[in-house]
């Protein structure tokens, strides 16, 4: 455990009057949300209700039709660059078929400036030590998701945007996901996850998209 691992995150996320559009279809209108450190939010809603689009808008990939997304630190200064504080785990796993798993994670470590020494340790944390020297192409869907989680841990950013994180994971994998989510929230991280089943291991605030009303549950 390094010292940096214990460091608390202090990023806030504020969404005001957000409207999202795909083609001519309005998916989300007047969406407001404020997340403080430690918040876990489960986005629910039928297929096509805009869960993924909302996550992609937060990550800066999709331009909202209107509204404002603000990321700020506790001291109050705004953060311009999403890449400083946001990690995104989409439904595609960025795993290359022809490269060893360990090399792929080393690449992500290099790209986000994490120490290379943490790669083996992180692989152990997600239970992929034995698969480290396998090519990406032979990994199963669940193993690929675990590898993507390892990337999230390496990046060590405050806000996690997760799109269906649990879907290909087995029982043990879901328990692992629960532990990771819990640890992240305890450190002051924010988690927004698009899900159909409840997130394992943690209590989340549930937001329903598509019904145009948000309710607090669990």
Partner 1 sequence: MSLLRACLAILKREVRLGWGAGGGALLSASFFAGSVMVAPFGLGPAPDTLGKIGPGYLWLALTLASLVSLERLFQADLEDGTLDQMLLSPVPHSLQVLSKILGQWLAIAAPLLAISPIAALLVRVEPEVILPLCAQLAVGSIGLFLIGAIGAALGASVRRGGLLVALVVLPLYAPSVIFGASAAAALATGGDFFSQPFLFLCALVLAALAFAPVAAAAAVRLHVD
Q: Shortest approach of partner 1 to residue 182 CB, angstroms?
A: 24
Q: Shortest approach of partner 1 to residue 152 CB, angstroms?
A: 10
Q: Quote the Cα angle for 166-140-93, to 5°.
A: 60
Q: Shortest approach of partner 1 to residue 44 CB, angstroms?
A: 23
The DSSP symbol for 6 reads H
Q: Shortest approach of partner 1 to residue 90 CB, angstroms?
A: 5
Phi and psi (nearest 5°) for 182? -60, -45
What's the rounded Cα separation, in Å, for the pair 205 and 185?
A: 13
Closer Cβ to partner 1, 60 or 168, answer by number: 60
Closer Cβ to partner 1, 21 or 214, answer by number: 21
Closer Cβ to partner 1, 132 or 206, answer by number: 132
What torsion do the CA atoms of 145, 214, 37, 42 make, to the nearest 10 degrees?
Answer: -20
What's the rounded Cα separation, in Å, for the pair 208 and 151?
A: 28
The DSSP symbol for 135 reads B
Give the residues lining the site for partner 1 (CB under 8 A): 56, 59-63, 81-84, 86-88, 90, 92-99, 103, 106-108, 110-113, 135, 151
Closer Cβ to partner 1, 152 or 202, answer by number: 152
């Amino acid at each position: 455990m390094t010292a940096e691992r214990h460091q608390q995150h202090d990023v806030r996320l504020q969404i005001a009057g957000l409207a999202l559009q795909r083609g001519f279809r309005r998916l989300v209108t007047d969406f407001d949300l404020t997340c403080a450190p430690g918040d876990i939010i489960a986005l629910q809603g039928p297929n096509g209700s805009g869960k993924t689009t909302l996550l992609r808008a937060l990550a800066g990939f999709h331009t909202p039709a209107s509204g404002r997304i603000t990321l700020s630190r506790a001291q109050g200064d705004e953060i311009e660059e999403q890449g400083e504080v946001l990690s995104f785990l989409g439904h595609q796993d960025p795993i290359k078929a022809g490269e060893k798993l360990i090399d792929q994670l080393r690449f992500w470590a290099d790209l986000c400036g994490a120490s290379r020494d943490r790669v083996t340790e992180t692989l152990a944390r997600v239970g992929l030590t034995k698969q480290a020297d396998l090519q990406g192409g032979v990994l199963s869907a669940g193993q690929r998701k675990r590898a993507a989680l390892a990337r999230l841990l390496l990046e060590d950013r405050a806000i996690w945007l997760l799109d269906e994180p649990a879907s290909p994971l087995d029982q043990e994998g879901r328990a692992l996901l629960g532990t990771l989510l819990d640890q992240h929230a305890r450190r002051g991280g924010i988690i927004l996850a698009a899900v159909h089943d409840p997130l394992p291991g943690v209590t989340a605030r549930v937001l329903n998209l598509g019904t145009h009303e948000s309710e607090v549950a669990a």
